[in-house]
Structure 1
Amino acid sequence: MELITQENWIAELPAVARDAMISRMSYRELAPGKDIVRAGDAPRKMVQVVSGYVRLSGIQTDGRRSLITIYGPGNSYGETALVSHRDFNHTTTTMTVVEVGELATNDFWEVYHRYPEIPEALCRKFARAISRQIVGRDLRAEHRLGERIVMLFENLAVRCGRREGDRVTILIPFSQTDIADHFDVTRQSVQREVTALKRAGLLEKRDGNWTFFQRPRSGSPHLNTER
């Protein structure tokens, strides 16, 4: 359950191609809660997260923004919209103070055509994204909701957690509604599973932050069996 991935395809490029991209980027810092791109925007840039965390949201029929994934340092997005010549399908919003690098469309196409390593790297990125979707679908079929929530918190603990002994404080804000939207289940279902995790001593929330505790060596706690 990788809500946050650690992928930086630009860093994987040969130095000459990587430097060509980075040198053309413009950088800015944004406060939490700011939209970087909105669903329906024309593809005028690709974006790379330098520091902080950005949420990718889909728009529900009732107007709510449901959490799809989170981008952390190194992650980039917007390439698909540029390559496929379509508008952005989703909205990205800062979750923390964020620094982003932005590559304008003209600069993107210039380096894309000049350095063949760039389209090759993008093909690998797109292939990995498809593979993650397949793995995620299989995990959802094979694991019960409580187990999936544990895996989600393990992913968050690794990618954006501050460890203190056997406890990890998650450094980004997200809610039980976010978890429910991400797994396409009801908030009530998530609330039951979160309550079970709290009773098992694996999870707590204080001052708006989630704290995840290392699993007991004896194995996973008893969780509800709802899928």
Structure 2
Amino acid sequence: MDTAEPTTVGIINRENWIGALPAPVREAIEARMTRFTVAPGMPVKRAGEAATRIFQVETGFLSLIGLHVDGRQALITIYAAGNCFSETAMIVRREHNHTTIALTPAVVRQLERDDFWELYHRHPEIPEALCRKFAEAISRQMASREQRATQRLGQRIATMFANLAEHAGESVVGGETRILLPITQSNIADIFDVTRQSVHREVSHLKQLGIVDKRHGDWVVIDSERLRQICSY
């Protein structure tokens, strides 16, 4: 967990600004962090709580959850190993806007508020790294809006499956990839702000083409090459 990946558009990315810091600074942060484990469905932080620490995923996957006006939960994004979160709320001294819940068994690191600010002021590399993170987050938002405006829903869903397979996939017999996350069609509809019926239509088309399938509750990418071709149309 010691490298940073470039900005990508997808439901999962492994942005890791702490890992990209010079070794002495990174080690100073990690020395102050403590670990805890979370079981699937358990919250790491809740909307409305004060931001008293920042977090980093060590292993497993967490989901960032928002709320519709009618009270329904909506999946916003998924944090993978390396992802850091809650820095924005910490820096602007506000409550958390969203809830973060474990999708799988996970180990999470946390850095308490006083430790964060002491290190922030001691090491100029930290605010610089956070500026880059926030700039990249804005770039991802803009790229996502452009993708939504220029790509068909089927293409965006194909890109999502490719992203899931890359970051949360397990190779199985026959060259297929099993996605290790419990993603539903309702989750996909929330991500793209469309109806579940629209998602069902596009996913059914991918199934008919023999590109993806759902087996025993898990999504399986059958033909990665054809999936990539649809993503690039």
Where does the alignment leave 5 or more consecutive residues of structure 2 unmatched?
Answer: 1-8
Q: 1:206 to 1:218 in 2, by over 3 A?
A: closer
Q: Which amino acid aligns with 2:225?
A: R
1:152-191 equivalences under 5 Å are: 152-164=160-172, 165-191=174-200
Which of the residues 53, 63, 87 maps onto 1:45? 53
Which of the residues 47, 68, 74 maps onto 2:76? 68
TM-score (norm 1): 0.94
SS at match of 1:174: coil
Spell out, residue by residue over 1:72-111, the C-alpha distance to the aligned partner (whole angstroms, 9 max, x if none): 0000100000011111011000000000001011111010
> How far off its partner does 1:216 sit?
3.2
Which of the residues 25, 39, 43 maps onto 1:31? 39
Which of the residues 116, 119, 122 maps onto 1:111? 119
Q: 1:117 to 1:68 in 2, by over 3 A?
A: same
> How far off its partner does 1:123 sit?
0.3
Spell out, residue by residue over 1:171-198, the C-alpha distance to the aligned partner (whole angstroms, 9 max, x if none): 1111000000000000010011111110
How many residue pairs align between the two structures? 222
Residue aligning to 1:139: 147
Spell out, residue by residue over 1:155-210, the C-alpha distance to the aligned partner (whole angstroms, 9 max, x if none): 00100101234311001111000000000000010011111110010111111100
Residue aligning to 2:209: 200
Whole-angstrom distance in 2 between the partners of 1:101 and 1:158: 24
Q: Which amino acid aligns with 2:86?
A: G
CA contact (8 A) 2:55 2:111 kept: yes
Q: 1:219 to 1:101 in 2, by over 3 A?
A: closer
Q: 1:172 to 1:218 in 2, by over 3 A?
A: closer
Whole-angstrom distance in 2 between the partners of 1:52 and 1:219: 29
Whole-angstrom distance in 1 between the partners of 2:225 and 2:145: 24
> How far off its partner does 1:215 sit?
3.2
Runs of at least 4 residues off by over 3 Å? 215-221
Where does the alignment leave 5 or more consecutive residues of structure 1 unmatched?
Answer: none
CA RMSD of aligned residues (A): 1.7
Q: 1:188 to 1:91 in 2, by over 3 A?
A: same
SS at match of 1:177: helix
Percent identity, please: 49
Whole-angstrom distance in 2 between the partners of 1:218 and 1:60: 32
CA contact (8 A) 2:158 2:230 kept: no
Which of the residues 115, 120, 124 maps onto 2:128? 120
